[in-house]
Copies of this chain bind each other. A is one copy, B any other.
Amino acid sequence: MKLALIRDSEIYNKKLLGLMLRDRIRKSLEKSGFVVKFFNDNLSLDEAEAYLIINEPVLFLERDLQFEGEKILVSDDFTVGYLFERDFKDLFVRDPQSAIEKYVAMNNIKKLEVRALKLSEDNLKLAEKLLLSSLIKSHDGIVSRLLNRRISLRISKILAERNVTPNQISFFSFFLSILGSALFLLDTYLATLIAGIIIQLHSIIDGCDGEIARLKFMESKYGAWLDGVLDRYADFITVFCITYSLAQANSIYWIVGFFAAFASFMIAYTGDKFVATYGRAYSDSSRLSIPITRDVRLFIIFLGAIFNCLFFSLILIALLGNAESLRRILSLRNVTPSIGLPPGTVRGG
């Protein structure tokens, strides 16, 4: 058992973005395998294989706390806590502070930087801001980064206070996509314009399910799976409706639409199949990689709707998406060493 001992504080009773600060630190540490115990003045120490002692009120801002060995956890400007091994118990009488000092003096313990905030009554607004921006994913597409996240985080801030589950958001976002797509079937510019706006709104809200899941410790495997699967349905239905609408005038658009739908799919598939086989997130820092992620594709459709040139959006998605998919086939070939497969990986199917 790994034991986390947290000195209790009044401030832990405050709610931040839908969750008490006490629950935030508890769930953060439980996620990384600790049994969490709050203490006040007196503390009796259970037997454990590792002890994490946190004396100051803290909000962790990292998604995955990976603690190992013996460490002094530090943030920019304060000591977050101490991670000791089992022989810390021998030094302990009643007061953690003196035991900590003795233990640190006896052992050569390394420092580990963690992203955390020392909580006080004055900086709860800052805490909220930092917590929200910790939800941004490092590999967000360019439209996500510059536009969607700025809005979706504001929406998530409101949703966090309410009893909304990530999967409910996924389905609502999916519904928006269907609604927008259906409007593309109507043959007026006004309908197309509204459709485009709804699709872009869908693209923004599509970030909220993940944000709420991370923010309120509601992540689930099914949720992550469903999120990807519904995105594929949404992509398909949107491209299909645009294609159907354009093809009434000229059936060549069926071909363009086919390739645009395929391109949309392959960008997602090559990434997800990478996770399935390599067992880690797909990321590509190549200068040659074409930024045609989902946020960008939907933005291209949004622009196409505004300027009433959706045929151009389809062509662009078909060309850029297929080019990027081919590029990935070639670039992965060179980069990757040939080593064993992780369990569950299957060739074929």
Contact = CB atoms under 8 A, between A and B. Distances in A.
Nearest to A346: B281
Interface stretch (A9-17, A254-262, A312-320): A254-262
A18 interface: no
Contact of A341 (B221, B333, B349): B221
Contacts of A276: 228, 272-273, 275-276
Contacts of A338: 218-223
A69 interface: no
Given A261-B261, A281-B344, A348-B206, A332 B272 contact: no
Interface stretch (A50-58, A76-84, A118-126, A263-271): A263-271
A269 B276 CA distance: 11
A349 B264 CA distance: 11
Contact of A329 (B206, B226, B269, B340): B226
Range of interface residues on A (Cβ < 8 Å): 35 or more
B273 A228 contact: yes
Contact of A336 (B221, B254, B329, B336): B221
Contacts of A255: 244
A348 B210 contact: yes
Contacts of A329: 226, 229
Contacts of A247: 251, 254
Given A272-B276, A275-B344, A349 B293 contact: yes
Interface in A196-221: 206-207, 209-210, 213-214, 218-221
Interface of A: 31, 64, 137, 139, 166, 206-207, 209-210, 213-214, 218-229, 231-233, 236, 240, 243-244, 247, 251, 254-255, 257-258, 261-262, 265-266, 268-281, 293-294, 325, 328-329, 332-333, 336, 338-349
Given A225-B270, A229-B329, A231-B348, 9 more contacts: A209-B347, A213-B347, A214-B347, A219-B340, A222-B333, A236-B262, A265-B265, A293-B349, A294-B348
